[in-house]
Structure 1
Amino acid sequence: MTQSLTGQSALVTGGAGGIGLATCRALAALGARVTFTARSAASLDAAQTDLAGIAAGVLCDITDRAALAALAGRGFDILINNAATVNPIGRITDLTVEAFSASIETNLVAQFDAIRLCLPAMLARGRGTVVNVSSGAAHRPQEGWSAYCAGKAGLAMLTRSLHLEYGDQGIRAFGLAPGVVDTAMQGVIRASGINPVSQLPRSALASPDQPGQALAWLCTQAADPLIGKELDIRDPDLRAAAGLPPLA
């Protein structure tokens, strides 16, 4: 099966750093025309420099529904729902309902909105790929992460719902848990010190290039046997298929 994405257009939310930035590079390497979102002008400028000639950035907070609708209206073949926040970190009684709601808005509602807005163009073409960046936190609670875990658990079910409702119309839906990766989010987690994940040394974290490569690979026909699944990058069969090295 082909691993080329030549002629396809891709939208990567939260593409200005970490896993998103690596995914932009990996998609472009496979021939896709890549657009990514950034929340701040500073992060957009830095990413534009890094991705010059590879991807085009757009200043867009994905919780801004009007801005997201305008962007999605361009019509994309591929959507990588990557933008997320781990905040607020704290035990349930330490959180406000406003902070919890803001987390769910970013990690679940905006992801749903991006899918909803991108689907019409995909359905009109009879094909499209949506990859939701999941997390082990979707399936295993971590102290202090009630908002993040709840949002990611909802996103995992959204992946399954998308496959159920539109899989027979050419929509390829996947969820991918990228593991513990050396990103800015992990810096926030380490600073919190609230659960075992925060105690992991930076040397134990994977490079963003690995999930970036896996996410791009899922957009190719080679990943068709895995359509509709919630995947974990630590799975040895997935790693081999995506061209990633075995875990030590």
Structure 2
Amino acid sequence: MGKIDLTGKVAIVTGASGGIGKAIAIGLASAGASVAVHFGRNKNAADEVVNKIVAARGKAIAVSADMADPVAVEEMFRKVDSSLGPVDILVNSAGIDGVRAMLGDDDIENWKKVISINLYGPYFCSRMAIQRMKKKNRGVIINITSDHVNIPWQGYSAYCSSKAGLDMMAKTLAQETATMGIRVISIAPGAIKTAINKSVWENPDTLKDLDDKIAMGFPGDAEDVADAVLFAASDMAKYITGTTIVVDGGMLIYPDFRHGG
């Protein structure tokens, strides 16, 4: 296996100002891609990612868009067109868990917000990307889904529904675009250490409970997901489309999960 080389490719990574998206943006840039670092509200964090890439002699810009607004998404793609060029690699990483609530006791607007960002956002981005990729007869769309495509999560019906929908959207788009030279792949992380779940992996008791559910015995890092994205975006994966790469240390094979418990 040779070194992954994405020189000359333009990548857009949504939700790239922190966590998994940040690791993906830095990883793609380290492989030679020019990267558009998308952020929702935290411009300073996105600028820090851009500065880190530039300091390592990479090329990156920060771009903002409300993922739930198709007009804003279209404008973001136009900005990338003029600054970096038409996109070759789209990584739909932006997403939110939402507010934990059981169905019936939940807030409809919160449910809609999760679906808007986690599912509509990737849809808006993917259609913009396909319009550009099909002109070049090449491109890769990578959706960051979750183990919760397969594992129910009480109180987070919107999140689980959005990720399951995103996974099936990837498979359907793979069918629609294969003859255009476009590949569409899902990357499904399991328990990954990021700032959003720091309270879990910093607490010895909750960390042990988590470790017990992972075959390899420990949660992953954002770079583990980024490495999978690098592979999926590269020519090493040129015969892979319409499927899911699971990055979870074996969490899906935890017996209670496999039997629906």
TM-score (norm 1): 0.85
Deviation at residue 72 of structure 1 after TM alignment: 1.6
- For 1:8-23, what aligned pairs fall within 5 Å after superposition? 8-23=9-24
Matches of 2:18 and 2:128 in 1, distance apart?
24
2:65 equivalent among 53, 60, 63: 60
Q: Once superposed, what is the RMSD of the aligned Cα atoms? A: 2.4
User: Aligned in 2, Cα 1:156/1:197: closer, same or farther, shift over 3 Å?
Assistant: farther
Using the TM superposition, name which of 118-127 and 66-75 deviates more: 66-75
- For 1:59-78, what aligned pairs fall within 5 Å after superposition? 59-73=64-78, 74=81, 75-78=86-89
8 Å Cα contact 2:37-2:61 kept in structure 1:
yes
Equivalent residue, structure 1, for 2:161: 150
Equivalent residue, structure 1, for 2:47: 45
Provide the secondary structure at the position in 1 that maps to 2:190: coil
1:200 is the counterpart of 2:210: yes
Matches of 1:9 and 1:56 in 2, distance apart?
11
8 Å Cα contact 1:86-1:185 kept in structure 2:
no
Equivalent residue, structure 2, for 1:101: 112
Using the TM superposition, name which of 50-59 and 20-29 deviates more: 50-59
Matches of 1:102 and 1:168 in 2, distance apart?
34
8 Å Cα contact 2:187-2:245 kept in structure 1:
yes
2:243 equivalent among 219, 225, 229: 229
Matches of 2:116 and 2:188 in 1, distance apart?
20
8 Å Cα contact 2:170-2:242 kept in structure 1:
yes
1:160 equivalent among 171, 178, 193: 171
8 Å Cα contact 1:136-1:179 kept in structure 2:
yes
User: Aligned in 2, Cα 1:90/1:33: closer, same or farther, shift over 3 Å?
Assistant: same
Q: 2:197 is matched by which residue type in structure 1?
A: Q
8 Å Cα contact 2:219-2:249 kept in structure 1:
no
Deviation at residue 108 of structure 1 after TM alignment: 0.3
Matches of 2:104 and 2:207 in 1, distance apart?
21
Matches of 2:186 and 2:145 in 1, distance apart?
6
8 Å Cα contact 1:88-1:147 kept in structure 2:
no
Structure 2: tracts of 5 or more residues without a match: 212-216, 251-261
Q: 2:184 is matched by which residue type in structure 1?
A: A
8 Å Cα contact 1:142-1:149 kept in structure 2:
yes
Equivalent residue, structure 1, for 2:26: 25
Q: 1:211 is matched by which residue type in structure 2?
A: V
Matches of 1:184 and 1:18 in 2, distance apart?
7
Equivalent residue, structure 2, for 1:211: 225
Q: 1:30 is matched by which residue type in structure 2?
A: A
User: Aligned in 2, Cα 1:183/1:217: closer, same or farther, shift over 3 Å?
Assistant: same
User: Aligned in 2, Cα 1:234/1:169: closer, same or farther, shift over 3 Å?
Assistant: same
Matches of 1:165 and 1:197 in 2, distance apart?
42
TM-score (norm 2): 0.81
Provide the secondary structure at the position in 1 that maps to 2:142: strand
Deviation at residue 67 of structure 1 after TM alignment: 2.1
8 Å Cα contact 1:37-1:61 kept in structure 2:
no
8 Å Cα contact 2:146-2:189 kept in structure 1:
yes
Q: 1:91 is matched by which residue type in structure 2?
A: M
Deviation at residue 105 of structure 1 after TM alignment: 0.3
Question: Residue by residue, what CA displacement relative to the aligned partner does 1:94-116 show, whole Å, maximum 9, x if unpaired?
Answer: 21111101110000011101001
Structure 1: tracts of 5 or more residues without a match: 237-248
Matches of 1:176 and 1:142 in 2, distance apart?
19
Matches of 2:32 and 2:53 in 1, distance apart?
14
Equivalent residue, structure 2, for 1:115: 126
Taking only the aligned residue pairs, the percentage that are identical comes to 28
Q: 2:95 is matched by which residue type in structure 1?
A: A
